[in-house]
Structure 1
Amino acid sequence: MELTPMQQQYMEIKEAHPKEILFFRLGDFYEMFFKDAEIVSKELGLTLTSRSGDVAKNPMCGIPYHAVDNYLGKLVTKGYRVAIAEQIGDPKAKGLTKREVVKVVTPGTILEESVLKSAQNNYIALVYEQESQLVLAGADISTGECFYCIYKGADRQQGLYDELYRIMMPELLVLGELSCRQDLEEFVSLRMASCLFTDIEVPVKNVQELLVQHFDVNNRPAEPLAEVAVATLLGYLHDTVRTDLTHLSQLTRLDYSENLVVDTCTLRNLEITRNLRDGGKKDTLLDVLDFTHTAMGTRLLKKWLEYPLMNIGKINQRLDSVEELAGDFLMRQQLQAACKSIYDFERLLTRIEVGSANARDLAALRTSFMALPGIHAALTGAKSRLLQKCREGIHLYEDFVDLLQRAIVDEPGLTIRDGGIIRDGYNEELDQYRLISRDSRQLLQQMEEQEKEKTGIRFLKIGYNKVFGYYIEVRNSGADKVPPHYVRKQTLANAERYITEELKEFETKILGAQEKIVSIEYNLFVEIRDAIKEKLGDIQATAREIARLDVLTGLAEAAASYNYVRPRLANNGQLDIKDGRHPLVERILQRDLFVPNDTRLNHDECEIMLITGPNMAGKSTYMRQTALLVLMAQIGSFIPAREAVIAPVDRIFTRIGASDDLVSGQSTFMVEMNEVAQILKYATSDSLVILDEIGRGTSTFDGMSIARAVIEHIREKVHAKTLFATHYHELTDLEDDKIRNFCIAVKEKGRDITFLRRIIAGAADKSYGIHVARLAGLPKAVTGRAEKILATLEKGAAAPQMAEAAPDVRAVRDMGAGSAENVKPAKTVKPVKPVKESADMGSLFASSLSDDLLKLDVMTMTPLEAMNELYRLQQQAKKEAGLG
């Protein structure tokens, strides 16, 4: 097929970018040819055309240059890489216009505002493996963040996966060979909606040059392996973005020694930042706590939830600030009002840095700067250290406010090449051209009057034609008064036409005024943008303080709105929560009263709470609640409880819910065993472990044996604070000085049952499975038959024999409990004590109603006050009993 010169140029550029779709600039359009055209046509629904008339042989399609961001965003979101080839030569010159690729847009490097989600980071990450070590380097060029982490030891692969799940990057670079490549691809495919893999064969050669270019001497990796990974990532960004990236100036090493580790399972099971339904924010802890008013604040809150603190001093600093803000409504209101006016500083600054900012971005920056004095004023009397640091770190930039107010119009257009962005009065030359453009006829009239006055020629006029342009016409009667500097241009029957140097200058100004206006405005805009760019690092620091202040203010608003309390922190391993509430469930419940519950775990009296009771009675909600309250406390948030003493934990492990990983070929039971294995391997005495219905995915005897072995291993080897819910109520015989039995209170009336949602001391005497089946709507014939079968089975000896049986040694060994010699024989079975309603029902209201009763001063109350108070307490008791 014979190609035109333009198509040959296209093919030469395409050969240098075989993995990208090539957007080839032709006038006011970007054109795609051949295979690229077919792909774009299919993905974007565009019609294929052809210059030769044969679409099959020479397909092409195009998009308008002014709408490129929309089409580009759609392609990149679908996982494509796009190379943008612009016209860099003079399009008016003879011959073929020179073109070259000015940038490559990928899922991890896109900066188009329409694609980026304001409350989420857009990370690109790189994985590098050497000498049994994995390095993860990452960056978000839209916000200027850059980080790295090194993973060593047997759990290095799991640590990498947990971090990838947290950052949820749309593009992952793999440098060189990777021993776990297949496992990595399976994990990404299973846990992430979409992620483009990009292979880089060898590291960059100019490692030190890139590191010096971006980071100061105290901000560079100490390890050679990390240096290579970070530099190669930076090299890739320079090759694709192809513009200044000096805003990537802060490098953070991810160090979990001071953070509570939240792994993939815990993030998913507790729905901390993403829900299990669709991976969105709705109905997550992030959703409940997010009272932020800036995109930066929302992103930072998400980070706090994914990286909670362990240091009591640092947590208390946050709690001090939240407490002060929660108690000072006026300060909180002023800060919230100011934050509402602040745009996404971080991404505005990035667009300024890379040269893609428009005048609206500068107007948004101006509005943001103007809100800063209000923040300073509101924080003037702040007492907590973090609030004081925020005030000290937020600079005011009065000079930029003045500059932007004088220079940028109130409502500038989207583009910076069409004018209309600089105010009148900012630049004298610009004002002159605008005056010429707007008032050219009036100015010509003024010039005509001036010439008449100067020369004394009565019959003189200034005119215009396409051939000669502007001219001065003088009738023959005034020819003797024509001054010497008039240059004759044309002779008419009764007049002469002249030009002057002044008139030609005026003509040039008029004819080129609009073009000159646009050029001057663009140059002035660039000057202003570059002036701001010089202070980029300082403004970035201010942006970080604004984000932190926004999060603290939001947590204070959550505390005030939801009636949360400040947890007290301890270092003795204690976990003591009074009347704790589930932060998500209580927000979802609109009509029903959420029944609060206590939790008390420590290493002296109760390390393991063994919770029995029917499946739908609320065991999982209670356990999730405990884990979430601990996590909330460790990010510096108040919590939904009456009071709490919490010792920070190093990890929260959760094994909750049933799910098949069908893509990876793992059944529900295999997923469960994998998660339990991870818990028993990595949990410590400072961890919080949540285990729900271990062993339910196999036979009764197998499951019960595994559950018993897991409990014994935690008791003897791990000593983690543990909530263990089970439907095997035969396991309640394990109660000792470390294990305590608890159950869900149930009110029975004939064949009807009511779940009271209250955790009380003691063991459940039955599982109520058939009752639950009846509530679920199973046919009466089925539930009736089930009751007969159950009665027959309960007469047999299978259950007591199982209760007395020794643990399954193989199951214990498989779970990491050690060899058979290390397994202690099962203790003699103690009779299970049923929960008596008359004996224990009073404890249901011990913490919620008894306190209210004790506070009443009955002797000073009037009869009417006493009746009203009694009625209120009765109504509360009915709600907590499920009768209201």
Structure 2
Amino acid sequence: MMASYTPMIQQYLTVKADYQDAFLFFRLGDFYEMFFEDAIKASQELEITLTSRDGGAEERIPMCGVPYHSAANYIEQLISKGYKVAICEQIEDPKQSKGVVKREVVQVITPGTVMDGKGLMEKENNYIVSVTAFEDQTFGLAYNDISTGESKVTLLSNNLEEVLNEIAVLGAKEVVVASDFDGEWQKKMRERNVLVISYEDQSSIDRKFSHLLEDLNQDKLKQTAARLFHYLYRSQKRSLDHLQPVSTYQIHQFMKIDYYSKRNLELTETIRTKGKKGSLLWLLDETKTAMGGRMLKQWIDRPLIDREKIEQRHHFVELLMNYYFERQELREKLKEVYDLERLAGRVAFGNVNARDLVQLKQSLLQVPYLKQILQSIGSEEMNRLIERLDPCEEVTDLLERAIVDNPPLSLKEGNIIRDGYHAQLDQYRDASRNGKTWIAQLEREEREKTGIKSLKVGYNRVFGYYIEVTKANLHLLEEGRYERKQTLTNAERFITPELKEKEALILQAEEKIGELEYELFTEIRETVKEYIPRLQALAKTVSELDVLQCFAQVSEERRYVKPKFSSERRVVIKDGRHPVVEKVLNAQEYVPNDCFMDSDREVLLITGPNMSGKSTYMRQIALTAILAQIGCFVPATEAVLPIFDQVFTRIGAADDLISGQSTFMVEMLEAKNAIANATQNSLILFDEIGRGTSTYDGMALAQAIIEYIHNRIGAKTLFSTHYHELTVLEKELAQLKNIHVSAVEHNGKVVFLHKIKEGPADKSYGIHVAQLAELPSELIERANEILTTLEQSTVSDTQRNENAAIPTEKVEQPEQLSFFDTPVEPIKSELSDKEKKVLDKMKGLDLLDITPLQAMNVLYELQKMLKG
């Protein structure tokens, strides 16, 4: 069938056979064309016209195309939707070709391999991940940001959920796996809009990237990274000299915060808008460079657990806070530093332009000023940082001598290289400039000689230079001297022997200038490429400095304090605030609260009405711990904290519609994750556990979870609830304490004080909250009536059961004992001494004071004894 197509379509189909999973952008002149199914699908996705052409097989072939010069916009649209695009270019001059011009794919662009354009967020990394499954059920995970060259690898346990969580934390848009990788897991990735690439098992070490793996000391790590690099080199088909040596990391080296906890705490994006505004990242981001912004996000995603490293960051922040004017100078200079990481990547990738190199030069020129500012602070730690600020003078000098200050965007326009940089280029320019001066002089002379004031000397690409005379003035020209070149409607264009000679000189010079400038630019780019490792090291240091000054700026503006760390696992926070809520509300309106936890207060049971601030209080404790462990100061007047190894949260209600899980199932799964993985050094936040089911189910689960954490784990835990019955646990669990968010009633309305106090809350104020939400007054009144009836009914039932006569005759023991109806006296004679004591204890209880949960607990113990 292929033989019946035209040679060009046959060539297209041959190339397409190797890129079935990508849109093939097939270069034809000034357009990228797509055919067959690609054309149909692309016309829909890009909203461009679908046409057809004769393919030589007695059929019209579907076709659509996009202009070469604007293709980047269309490619970005496809990549943003999760597609791959293969760029197929002409690799020989059509003038030299005797048949179909040779073409081949020169690059495959995917969501994880974008190098520039709108697909890259300035202050976010763009990671691509590879996952390798090993026979011992462990998994290797490697990730890379091709735009910056950063590469890391780790080994994870035999838990695919952990792999899924790590990819979610990285925000990866593309993952590369073997074709036989777990299908259900691949499905989960696709459901989360991650492009899954099935790539043949390439774990051998290629010489192209073997040097990048030298620091890896395990075969598993090398095989995992090798798969990723094989894929990158195969898809990009060009130099990747900016890729940095792969470094290893282990997730237990950092505070572990799973994806759901990050979402619940709104660390980098908000739950509702999925945007940065309103998140902790939004609050903190006072960075002045793009690379500093990316590092800030990395630090938030991975807080430290190494106390020494944390305190080093705190020390830098304190220094910068104490030197206000120097810090402001620092911020001004950092504004002038462009994205060194991605500029280095573009140099290596070969898509850097002259303006990029000017930005690189301007950035490097700031380094001496940064060093000078830091030297004025004059501490030993600051001096060590100064030593890492490499100004790369050789690069600065080269770019200063070679590239003009305001070059054009295109490399083909010329006017990139400075005069005086290259002798031959200067000669060509002199010929061109003198020739153009001669042309201008010629125009003046011809006007004087002929007396034609409208005569002009012009140029176009088709006819070259010409003398143009209107037809009304043709009679004024000297016969025999002018050779007709082009006829227009109202004018004639001529050339003279002198003009023809000068034209050849000028055009030859300009052609030589264009060729030589591009050649010189390529040489400059290759020279800069040799300094990429130094530029990347400089970028890392500048990024670190930028984040530290950012912490100092925020800490001073927001009145944060330097935290201290406790080896006794004590939490002492005085006047703590939720950093984001405080900024949104304004500092004067936010009500600060204390938090105290030690070995006698491991679990805080928080009660109080809706909207009173329970969830906010819980979140602010977690955010304070995270801020402390990323190296920032914290929103309080005093803070003493342990180093937490993990933070778990269950806050808010949300169905997981993709996997068909209800709110309650999501709640239970998140609770399970915390209970299964938390240690004594963890922080757990549970908000309203158990509310997704019936009251007694919910209370029973809530109590069991609290007891399990208290007795088995010992983690610092904040547990908020509306089940007031749970507050009796303070008497039974030694390390549990009740606290509540206070509220008062005034003129029949509730006033939230947002203040944490010791002890349990006395009411829920649910109807008051409904009133604040402005539900209809008729509805509110009816709710109050129902509540009164229910409360009276409960009291009446309790009193009736309390006053009921106890039968004297012996009765059969029922299968299910009821606390209120159990005839205790006839049974008592058959019980052991221990059981009699339990019954005596029950008789002594005042039924008006006992809660249903207390009754259930006592009954449960009695049932166990009677059945045992």
TM-score bucket of the superposed structures, by smaller chain: 0.7 to 0.9
Match of 2:590 in 1: 594
Match of 1:496 in 2: none
Q: Which residue of 2 aligns with 1:670?
A: 665
1:660 positional shift: 0.7
User: Which one of the candidate residues 319, 327, 338 is aligned to 1:324?
Assistant: 319
Counterpart in the other structure of 1:207: 205
Describe the SS at the equivalent of 1:250: coil
Q: Deviations over 1:126-173 (max 9, x none)?
A: 1111221111111111011111121114xx223212211111111111
Q: Which moved more, 1:312-321 or 1:44-53?
A: 44-53
Provide, for residues 634-657 of structure 1, a one-character-per-residue CA deviation record: whole Å limited to 9, x for no partner. 101011111111111111110111
**Equivalent residue for 2:529?**
533
Pairwise CA RMSD: 3.1
Q: Residues 320 and 384 of structure 1 are in contact (CA less than 8 Å); yes or no, is this contact kept in structure 2?
A: no
The answer on whether the counterparts of 1:129 and 1:177 sit within 8 Å (CA) in structure 2 is no
Contact 1:147–1:254 under 8 Å retained in 2: yes
* 1:288 CA displacement: 0.0
Q: Pick the aligned partner of 2:688 from 687, 693, 703.
A: 693
Amino acid at match of 1:125: V
CA 724–6 in structure 1, closer or farther in 2 if over 3 Å, else same: same
- Code of the aligned partner of 1:731: L
Question: Does 2:548 align with 1:545?
Answer: no
CA distance in 2, matches of 1:436, 1:6: 44
Is 1:792 the equivalent of 2:789?
yes
Query: How big is each residue's C-alpha offset from its partner over 1:236-286, in whole Å with a ceiling of 9 and x where there is no partner?
Result: 000000111132222122213331101111100000011111322111000
1:32 paired residue number:
34
Structure 2 counterpart of 1:143:
148
8 A Cα contact 1:382 1:388, kept in partner: no
Which residue pairs with 2:121 in the alignment? Answer: 117
Answer yes or no: is 1:305 the counterpart of 2:300: yes
C-alpha distance after superposition, 1:677-726 (max 9, x if no partner): 11111111111110111111111111111111111111111111111111
Q: Is the 8 A contact 2:211 2:245 kept in 1?
A: no
| Counterpart for residue 866 of structure 1 | none
Q: Which residue of 1 aligns with 2:721?
A: 726
> What's the counterpart of residue 78 of structure 1?
81
Match of 1:171 in 2: 174
Q: Which amino acid counterpart does residue 81 of structure 1 have in structure 2?
A: K
Contact 2:603–2:716 (8 Å) recurs in 1: yes
TM-superposed deviation, 1:81: 1.3
Deviation at 1:365, TM superposition (A): 0.3
User: Deviation digits for residues 520-545 of structure 1, max 9, x if unmatched?
Assistant: 11111111111111011111000000
8 Å CA contact 1:763–1:833 kept in 2: the answer is no
Candidates 543, 566, 569, aligned match of 2:565: 569
Whether the aligned pair in 2 keeps the contact of 1:390 and 1:546 (CA below 8 Å) is no
For the residue of structure 1 that corresponds to 2:739, the secondary structure is strand
In structure 2, C-alpha distance between the alignment counterparts of 1:182 and 1:612, rounded to whole Å:
41
CA deviation map 1:67-112 (0-9, x unaligned): 2222211111122211111111122124322111111111111212
AA at the equivalent of 1:128: T
Q: Displacement, 1:399? A: 2.5
Contact 1:743 / 1:759 at 8 angstroms: preserved in 2?
A: yes
Alignment correspondent of 1:88: 91
Question: Tell me, what secondary structure is at the counterpart of 1:735?
Answer: helix
Q: Find the aligned partners of 2:156 and 2:55 in 1 and give their Cα distance.
A: 58
| Residues 177-216 of structure 1: pairs in structure 2 closer than 5 A | 177-179=180-182, 181-186=183-188, 189=191, 192=192, 194-204=193-203, 206-207=204-205, 209=207, 211-215=209-213
> Which residue pairs with 1:157 in the alignment?
160
Residue identity opposite 1:398 in structure 2: E
Question: Residue 674 of structure 1: SS of its match in structure 2?
Answer: helix
1:443 deviates by 6.2
Structure 1 position 301, deviation (Å): 0.5
| Aligned mate of 2:752, from 738, 750, 755 | 755
Question: Structure 1 143/173 Cα, relative in aligned 2: closer, same or farther at 3 Å?
Answer: same
Amino acid at match of 2:544: R
CA 1:402 to 1:125, structure 2 compared with 1: closer, same or farther past 3 Å?
same
Which residue of structure 2 lines up, in the alignment, with residue 227 of structure 1? 222
Provide the secondary structure at the position in 1 that maps to 2:752. Answer: strand
Separation in 1 of the partners of 2:391 and 2:200? 47
Amino acid aligned to 1:679: A
Partner of 2:780: 783
Using the alignment, how far apart are the partners of 1:446 and 1:439 within structure 2? 10
- Tell me how far apart the structure 2 counterparts of residues 794 and 140 of structure 1 sit (CA, whole Å): 62
> 2:275, 2:439 → 1: CA distance?
64
Task: Report deviation, 1:833.
Answer: 11
* Distance in 1 of aligned mates of 2:377 and 2:788: 68
SS in structure 2 of the partner of residue 615 of structure 1: coil
State the shift of 1:573 in Å: 0.5
Instruction: Please tell me the residue identity of whatever aligns with 2:319.
Output: E
Aligned mates of 2:670, 2:435 — CA distance in 1: 79
Distance 1:281 1:832, change over 3 A: farther
Contact persistence 1:146–1:248 (CA under 8 A): yes
Q: Is the 8 A contact 2:5 2:55 kept in 1?
A: no
- Shift in alpha-carbon separation, 1:731–1:522, aligned structure 2, 3 A: same
Distance 1:386 1:238, change over 3 A: farther
CA distance in 1, matches of 2:394, 2:846: 79
Q: Find 1:439's aligned residue among 415, 434, 452.
A: 434
Does the CA-based 8 Å contact 1:83-1:104 persist in structure 2?
yes
Closer/same/farther in 2, CA of residues 614 and 444 from structure 1, 3 Å limit: closer
* Match of residue 849 from structure 1: none
Q: For 1:505 and 1:399, locate their aligned partners in 2 and report how far apart those are by CA, in whole Å.
A: 43
8 A contact 1:689–1:721 mirrored in 2: yes
Counterpart in the other structure of 2:804 = none
The question of 1:44 aligning with 2:67 is answered no
Cα offset, 1:53, TM superposition: 10
Query: Normalising by the residue count of structure 1, what TM-score does the alignment of the two structures yield?
Result: 0.81
| Aligned-partner Cα distance in 1 for 2:780–2:270 | 34
Q: Describe the superposition over 1:306-349 as per-residue Cα deviations: whole angstroms up to 9, x where unpaired.
A: 10011111111000001111121112111111110111111110
Aligned 8 A contact 1:73 1:112 in 2:
no
| 2:576 matches 1:580 | yes
Alignment pair present for 1:264 and 2:259: yes
Contact map agreement 1:261 1:652 (CA 8 A) in 2: yes
Structure 2: distance between partners of 1:569 and 1:591: 26
* SS of structure 2 residue aligned to 1:317: helix
| Structure 2, gaps ≥5 residues long | 443-458, 466-496, 802-816, 820-837, 851-868
Pairing 1:11–2:13 present: yes
Cα separation, partners in 2 of 1:188 and 1:630, compared to 1, 3 Å: farther
Q: What amino acid maps onto 1:732 in structure 2?
A: T
Alignment-mate amino acid for residue 352 of structure 1: V
C-alpha distance in 1, partners of 2:708/2:50? 67
Q: Which residue of 2 aligns with 1:764?
A: 761
CA distance in 2, matches of 1:147, 1:322: 28
Q: Percent identity of the aligned residues?
A: 44
1:384 deviates by 5.3
Contact 2:392-2:534 at 8 Å conserved across structures: no
In structure 2, C-alpha distance between the alignment counterparts of 1:335 and 1:593, rounded to whole Å: 32
Residue in 1 aligned with 2:554? 558
1:128: which partner in 2? 132
Checking the alignment, whether the CA contact within 8 Å between 1:406 and 1:426 is kept in structure 2 is yes
**Paired residue type of 2:575:** D
Please give the secondary structure, in 1, of the residue aligned with 2:123: coil
Partner of 1:236: 231
The aligned amino acid for 2:739 is F
Match of 1:813 in 2: none
CA distance in 1, matches of 2:37, 2:275: 35
Contact 2:435 2:502 in 1 (8 A): no
Single out whichever of 359-368 and 747-756 deviates more from structure 2.
747-756
Amino acid at match of 2:742: A
**Alpha-carbon deviation of 1:225?**
2.3
Alpha-carbon distance in 1 for matches of 2:512, 2:343: 28
